[in-house]
């Protein structure tokens, strides 16, 4: 039997490298070379451990080199969907009875394997979704963190604290799994979020069906392969790629599905929530939806802010991974007293960013994910030109890939489309605020509530932000991206999702249900309980 270590070290976040060390650079360069040897590999549907081929495949392309197919995954059919649900339902009967120690051990073994081959995962992230080196290393480190953290959390929940004692009864609470879960991850944190949501589902005793993003299906396929390499029983995790409108909706609406864990756009998240709320014949539960959706995140720069620190925080938050993060800063709200000085420094810092192939060390801004994203973002730039003043970027950058210049639209009015709508690209709207009160009002003036930041030297203003800035993750005098597992549990309010707090101490409860058990005891046993002996 595979079991977790009897004594675990306290959780510690996996270090993120900046590749200033030549040795680190050499290791990743070698991994990128190795990655070229697997270009074009075909990855099958996986159901009950069986590798199945479909009639068609889904190509995953390198967004920096659109003519390069990183790999292909077989497209699942509706028969595959039904078979996966049948298998997951059957396997749940035994997996749910597997001890928390054994389930956690699979996560720890997977984390160790990923840690030992970290740069191969980094290379795949660079190729498949266009992540620059440091962003790729952070993604891989976070995947390791989720596996390590959720393994420990499963062990903690397996031994819940004692309840209040009452004479004549023995009471305890246990957390039991929900059933069959559908995991629908995004492409932007192609490794971390995909692995984290999947790990949370299975370590709590559920069986899972992973439907990856079509833009990041290869790394998901590789992760499923890894989980089986470390011994995960067949059928506990099944891999069913396909279009969300076909495969995804079939999984979400089936009465055998107990819960859906989703990260992605507001529109898709609301659609999933709507479909899950309907109760088809034969369904015996209310489906649970765990959703992390979009954001229109703001950094407020007060009139007493450290100007250089604020500029650095905005640039890092707005253009890291080409702004393709739900936590990215897409609005800089600046006090009128600092506005002109801030904007001048911001433009210089933004123009200094190197745009290009993320496989090349030092390129800070890579491509956007695909042609559709490129066209959508450039359309928003045109909207922004009519709503404000273009002061940096604004065009497609050179290169064969889907590159866009880091863009700044200044003098944007609250309520403008580029100030309200999620763009998901390297486009920043800069808004002038009359004062701090006005800045907070503007920051809160969207339907989202994911992340935000405030730069100010005033303790009173920072405390006001803690109370009044309505976001799930608030950062003070630092960037608004880069939440760490166990340090900054992540999830937002309003149209940003269900505030699920990934990487936090409440997260695994979303994949469990609590069962209270009471037993009447004999009189002598009741006396023992009352005196603390039972």
What single DSSP character describes residue 513? E
CA-CA distances (angstroms) from residue 455 to 330, 428, 493? 16, 17, 22
Decide: 367 and 402 in contact? Cβ < 8 Å.
Answer: yes
Decide: 422 and 295 in contact? Cβ < 8 Å.
Answer: yes
Longest dimension (CA), the chain: 83
Closest residue by Cα to residue 141 from 11, 7, 13, 8: 13
- 142 is annotated as an active-site residue: no
Q: Which residue has the tokens 């979009």?
A: 294
CA atoms within 13 A on the CB side of 124: 26
Helix spans in 278-364 (H)? 307-319, 339-351
The residue annotated as part of the active site, out of 128, 261, 326, 480, is 326
Decide: 367 and 130 in contact? Cβ < 8 Å.
Answer: yes
Helices 192-203 and 217-229: angle between axes, nearest 10 degrees: 40
CB atoms within 10 A of CB 40: 10
Gap between the Cα atoms of 384 and 402, Å rounded: 20
Decide: 431 and 333 in contact? Cβ < 8 Å.
Answer: yes
Residues near 183 by beta carbon (within 8 Å), at least 6 away in sequence: 194, 197, 198, 201, 208, 209, 210, 211, 261
Helices 192-203 and 100-116: angle between axes, nearest 10 degrees: 160
For the chain, the distance separating the N- and C-terminal CA atoms, rounded to the nearest angstrom, is 32
Q: What is the CA radius of gyration of the chain?
A: 24
Closest residue by Cα to residue 114 from 49, 106, 185: 106
The residue annotated as part of the active site, out of 72, 148, 153, 292, is 292
- 422 is annotated as an active-site residue: no
Counting Cβ atoms within 10 Å, is residue 354 exposed (0-12), middle (13-18) or buried (19+)? exposed
Decide: 480 and 299 in contact? Cβ < 8 Å.
Answer: yes
Decide: 240 and 82 in contact? Cβ < 8 Å.
Answer: no
Query: Which residues carry out catalysis?
Result: 292, 326
């Amino acid at each position: 039997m595979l079991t977790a270590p009897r004594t675990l070290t306290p959780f510690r976040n996996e270090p993120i490298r900046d590749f200033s060390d030549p040795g680190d650079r050499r290791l990743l360069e070698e991994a990128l070379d190795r990655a070229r040897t697997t270009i074009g590999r075909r990855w099958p549907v996986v159901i009950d451990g069986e590798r199945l081929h479909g009639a068609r495949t889904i190509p995953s392309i390198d967004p920096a080199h659109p003519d390069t197919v990183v790999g292909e995954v077989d497209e699942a059919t509706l028969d595959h969907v039904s078979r996966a649900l049948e298998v997951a339902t059957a396997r749940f009967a035994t997996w749910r009875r597997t001890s928390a120690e054994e389930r956690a051990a699979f996560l720890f073994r997977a984390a160790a394997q990923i840690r030992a081959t970290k740069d191969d995962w980094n290379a795949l992230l660079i190729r498949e979704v266009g992540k620059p080196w440091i962003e790729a290393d952070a993604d891989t480190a976070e995947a390791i963190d989720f596996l390590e953290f959720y393994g420990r959390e499963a062990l903690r929940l397996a031994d819940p604290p004692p309840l209040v004692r009452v004479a004549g009864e023995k009471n305890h609470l246990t957390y039991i799994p929900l059933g069959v879960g559908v995991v629908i991850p995004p492409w932007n944190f192609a490794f971390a979020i995909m692995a984290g949501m999947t790990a949370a589902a299975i370590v709590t005793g559920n069986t899972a069906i992973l439907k990856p993003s079509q833009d990041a299906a290869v790394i998901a396929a590789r992760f499923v392969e890894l989980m089986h390499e470390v011994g995960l029983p067949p059928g506990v995790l099944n891999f069913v790629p396909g279009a969300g409108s076909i495969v995804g909706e079939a999984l979400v609406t089936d009465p055998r599905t107990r819960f859906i864990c989703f990260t992605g756009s507001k529109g898709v998240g609301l659609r999933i929530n709507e479909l899950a709320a309907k109760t088809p014949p034969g369904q015996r539960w209310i489906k649970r939806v765990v959703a992390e959706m979009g954001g229109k995140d703001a950094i407020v720069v007060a009139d007493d802010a450290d100007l250089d620190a604020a500029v650095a925080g905005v640039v890092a938050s707005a253009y890291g991974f080409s702004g393709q993060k739900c936590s990215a800063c897409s609005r800089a709200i600046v006090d009128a007293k600092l506005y002109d000085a801030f904007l001048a420094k911001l433009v210089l810092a933004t123009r200094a960013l190197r745009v290009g192939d993320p496989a090349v060390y030092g390129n800070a801004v890579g491509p956007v994910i695909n042609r559709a994203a490129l066209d959508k973002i450039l359309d928003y730039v045109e909207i922004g030109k009519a709503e404000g003043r273009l002061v940096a970027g604004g065009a497609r950058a050179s290169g064969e890939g889907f590159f866009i210049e880091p863009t700044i639209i200044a003098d944007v009015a609250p309520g403008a489309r580029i100030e309200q709508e999620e763009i998901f690209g390297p486009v920043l709207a800069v808004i002038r605020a009359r004062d701090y009160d006005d800045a907070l009002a503007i920051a809160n003036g969207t339907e989202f509530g994911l992340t935000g930041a405030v730069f100010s030297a005033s303790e009173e203003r920072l405390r006001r932000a803690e109370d009044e800035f309505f976001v799930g993750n608030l950062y003070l005098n630092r960037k608004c991206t880069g939440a760490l597992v166990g340090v900054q549990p992540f999830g937002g309010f309003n149209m940003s999702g269900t505030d699920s707090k990934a990487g936090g101490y409440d997260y695994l409860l979303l994949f469990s249900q609590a069962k209270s058990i009471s037993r009447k005891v004999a009189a002598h046993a009741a006396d023992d309980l009352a005196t603390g002996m039972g």
